[in-house]
């Protein structure tokens, strides 16, 4: 178990002991379960010829992957330790079909029915890295639907990427550059490896290496060493995995959720203390203001959805569509060469351009919308609670609540909420549970659009092959790119994007509004509960305040040491 994993679990145990029954601990129990089960997913990406399977097999001292599991079926394959060798094929609903290792051909036949595979092996090398899950990814030239399914899924699930490029490519191809752009867009980390280096003389290798270093630094500010791999590179992968900063990665997965939970607990203690310090009349006034605040939020929710759609939806959708068209035109030369020399790969190339551009454009624009909406609700709630700041519900509290929302929303946009089931919980106490599922960009927006576009591409592309001469093909393609392909893509995207985008915006506003609403309702309940206890059980108010302050201070001390102090 990773040190930070142990540290966080120990922290949660301490928190539960300190707060006892003062605060509902459902959130603590749920995140504790997530932390216990958490894994660091490490996809190995690159083209079919990059040597991904060879690298993993060399590390495992086994030739299991070339037997036809991943490259043939184009399904991502998670490699896991087990005392019994077998394969599990999982569909989109996580239903599992079990296979023997010898049944890879059967998996291939049914590949379209599955999302990914789990390869279970009794291998000590896998057990040695039990905190990591290596994933052998399909190559970029795999069938589009399977490629999208795997790449988009593991862009979300992955926390660290091992990127391979064959030395025979010489330079970083556009397909790999786009993949790196997607990884970078979601703020994930990667290490770059140059494979099959034994196939080039040292002089040629040095030139290739220098060229790649320059490209990576220019495009991604990548200054780490490029790992050189030959045909026996298991030790190199072992070093890569050993050098991964497990602790930093694990902390990034849970630190914001844990800070959010502490904020909730501390806020609850503050409310109880404030209720004991104020009169019953002042407490009732606070309850009334909180109830009015909830009504205002509900009213603002509908007006905000309509306002955002009217002001920004059409504008953003058109901007996204135009950005796609611009990107396709920027790649005109590449697409033309594909039409000339590899017509079958043209759909793949267009698909990759669409995927990368949609991912970055939609993410950026929804981020802007979410920040704007959170800020608007922040102002509304600050105005509503202005007269009851003596109950620790002042601007600082509202601002901190808003900051927590933005932090957890960012995790969702990076896909880090996909680690567990918190996002699907119907409980309503913690911020992260209502925010974490807002932006499933890679599944709810990209795939439907791409599926529509991919359906009509082959028909357009097939017309190009009728031209017999090279120049004629180029001219025909450029003409069709401008007059037919790009306009057709824009039409198809315009058909499906508004509904999907607007649904995301509506969900975004609704979730933000509901989170604020639930927070206010929770504070109302806490005041009412403390009032009742004050009347029935609490004989010495000052003594009770001192007890709660002691809990608050003890909690602050361990939280500061665990979550805020740098080790």
* pTM (predicted TM-score): 0.84
pLDDT at 192: 97
Distance CA 223, CA 460 (A): 42
Q: Give the count of beta carbons closer than 10 Å to the beta carbon of residue 457.
A: 19
Confidence band (pLDDT; 50, 70, 90) for 425? very low
Q: Are 113 and 412 in contact (CB under 8 A)?
A: no
| pLDDT score recorded for residue 145 | 60
Q: What CA–CA distance (Å, rounded) separates 214 from 219?
A: 9
Per-residue model confidence (pLDDT) at position 73: 52
List, for residues 65-113, the tens digit of each pLDDT value.
754 444 445 688 999 999 999 999 998 788 999 999 888 888 888 888 8
Q: Which one is predicted more confidently, 559 or 38? A: 559
CA distances from 104 to 51, 65, 94 (A): 20, 10, 19
- The mean of the pLDDT values for the chain is 83
Read off the pLDDT of residues 510-553 as tens digits, 9 standing for 90 and up. 888 988 999 999 999 999 999 999 888 887 889 999 999 999 99
Between 72 and 432, the more confident residue is 72
pLDDT of residue 140 exceeding 70, the answer is no
Average pLDDT for residues 114-131, to the nearest whole number?
90
496: nearest Cα among 544, 430, 545, 444? 444
Cβ neighbors of 341 (< 8 A, separation 6 or more) are none
Per residue in 184-203, pLDDT (tens digit) is 988 889 999 999 999 899 88
Local confidence band at 440 (pLDDT 50, 70, 90 cut-offs) = very low
Does the pLDDT at position 142 exceed 70?
A: no
Q: Which of 486, 480, 296 is nearest to 385 (CA)?
A: 296
Q: Quick one: which of 287, 224, 231 has its CA closest to 55? A: 231
Task: Give me the mean pLDDT over the 455-481 stretch.
Answer: 70
Q: How many CB atoms lie under 10 A from the CB of residue 328? A: 22
pLDDT class of 508 with cuts at 50, 70, 90:
confident
416 vs 227, residue with greater confidence = 227
pLDDT classification of 437: cutoffs 50, 70, 90 = very low
Which helix (DSSP H) or strand (DSSP E) does residue 236 occupy? helix 234-243
Residue with tokens 């849970």: 254
Left (φ > 0), alpha (ψ -120 to 50) or beta: where does 189 sit?
Answer: beta
At residue 184's C-alpha, the angle toward residues 180 and 186, to 5°, is 125
Which of 21-30, 264-273, 282-291, 316-325 has the lowest average pLDDT? 21-30
Q: Is the pLDDT of residue 279 over 70?
A: yes
Q: What are phi and psi of 408, to 5 degrees?
A: -70, -35
Cα–Cα distance for residue pair 483/485, rounded to 1 Å: 7
Task: Please tell me the predicted confidence (pLDDT) of residue 429.
Answer: 31
Write phi, then psi, for 99 (nearest 5 degrees). Answer: -135, 155
H or E element that contains 556:
helix 541-559
Helices 332-341 and 470-480 cross at an angle (nearest 10°) of 130
Structure confidence at residue 404 (pLDDT):
85
User: Percent of the chain having pLDDT more than 70?
Assistant: 86
Of 124, 123, 44, 39, residue with least CA distance to 77: 44
Percent of the chain with pLDDT over 90: 41
Q: What integer pLDDT is reported at residue 509 of this predicted model?
A: 87
**Residue 427: its pLDDT value, please?**
35
Q: Are strands 76-81 and 132-136 parallel, antiparallel or unpaired?
A: antiparallel
The predicted structure's pLDDT at residue 438: 29
What average pLDDT does the segment 362-388 reach?
A: 88
Closest-CA residue to 111 (of 142, 81, 66, 78)? 142
């Amino acid at each position: 178990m990773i040190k930070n994993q142990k540290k966080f679990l120990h922290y949660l145990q301490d928190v539960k002991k300190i707060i006892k029954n003062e605060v509902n601990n459902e959130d603590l129990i749920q995140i504790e379960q997530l932390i216990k089960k958490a894994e660091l997913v490490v996809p190995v990406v690159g083209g079919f010829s990059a040597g991904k399977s060879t690298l993993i097999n060399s590390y495992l001292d086994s030739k299991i992957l070339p037997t036809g599991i991943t490259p043939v079926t184009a399904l991502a394959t998670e490699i896991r330790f087990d005392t019994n060798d077998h394969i599990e094929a999982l569909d989109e609903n996580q239903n599992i079909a079990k296979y023997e290792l010898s049944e890879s051909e059967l998996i291939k036949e049914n590949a379209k029915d599955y999302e990914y595979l789990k390869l279970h092996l009794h291998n000590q090398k896998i057990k040695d890295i039990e905190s990591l899950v290596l994933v052998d990814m399909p190559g970029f030239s795999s069938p589009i639907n399977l490629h999208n399914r795997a790449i988009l899924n593991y862009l979300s699930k992955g926390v660290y990427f091992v990127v391979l490029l064959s030395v025979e490519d010489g330079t970083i191809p556009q397909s790999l550059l786009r993949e790196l752009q997607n990884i970078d867009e979601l703020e994930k980390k990667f290490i770059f490896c140059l494979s099959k280096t034994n196939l080039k003389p040292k002089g040629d290798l040095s030139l290739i290496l220098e060229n790649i270093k320059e490209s990576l630094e220019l495009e991604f500010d990548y200054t780490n060493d490029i790992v050189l791999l030959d045909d026996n590179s298991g030790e190199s992968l072992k070093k890569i995995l050993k050098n991964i900063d497990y602790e930093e990665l694990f902390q990034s997965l849970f630190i914001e959720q844990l800070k959010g939970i502490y904020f909730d607990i501390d806020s609850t203690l503050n409310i109880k203390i404030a209720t004991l310090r104020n009169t019953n009349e002042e407490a009732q006034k606070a309850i009334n203001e909180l109830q009015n605040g909830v009504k205002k939020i509900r009213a603002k929710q509908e007006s905000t959805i309509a306002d955002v759609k009217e002001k920004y939806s059409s504008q953003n959708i058109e901007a996204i569509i135009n950005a796609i068209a611009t990107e396709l035109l920027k790649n005109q030369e590449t697409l033309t060469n594909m039409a000339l020399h590899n017509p079958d790969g043209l759909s793949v190339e267009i698909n990759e351009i669409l995927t990368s551009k949609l991912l970055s454009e939609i993410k950026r624009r929804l981020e802007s919308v979410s920040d704007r909406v959170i800020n608007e609700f922040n102002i509304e709630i600050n105005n509503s609670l202005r007269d009851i700041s003596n109950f620790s519900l002042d601007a600082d509290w509202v601002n901190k609540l808003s900051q927590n929302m933005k932090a957890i929303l960012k995790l969702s946009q990076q896909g880090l909420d996909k680690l567990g089931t918190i996002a699907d919980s119907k409980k309503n106490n913690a911020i992260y549970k209502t925010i974490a599922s807002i932006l499933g960009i890679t599944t709810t927006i990209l795939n439907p659009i791409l599926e529509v576009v991919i359906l009509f591409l082959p028909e357009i592309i097939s017309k190009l092959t009728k031209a017999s001469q090279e120049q004629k093909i180029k001219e025909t393609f450029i003409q069709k790119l401008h007059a037919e392909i790009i306009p057709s893509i824009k039409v198809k995207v315009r058909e499906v994007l508004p509904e999907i985008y607007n649904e995301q915006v509506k969900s975004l506003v609704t979730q933000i509004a509901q989170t604020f609403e639930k927070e206010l309702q929770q504070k109302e309940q806490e005041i009412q509960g403390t009032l009742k206890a004050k009347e029935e059980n609490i004989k010495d108010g000052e003594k009770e305040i001192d007890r709660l302050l002691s809990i608050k201070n003890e909690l602050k001390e361990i939280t500061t040491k665990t979550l805020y102090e740098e080790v």
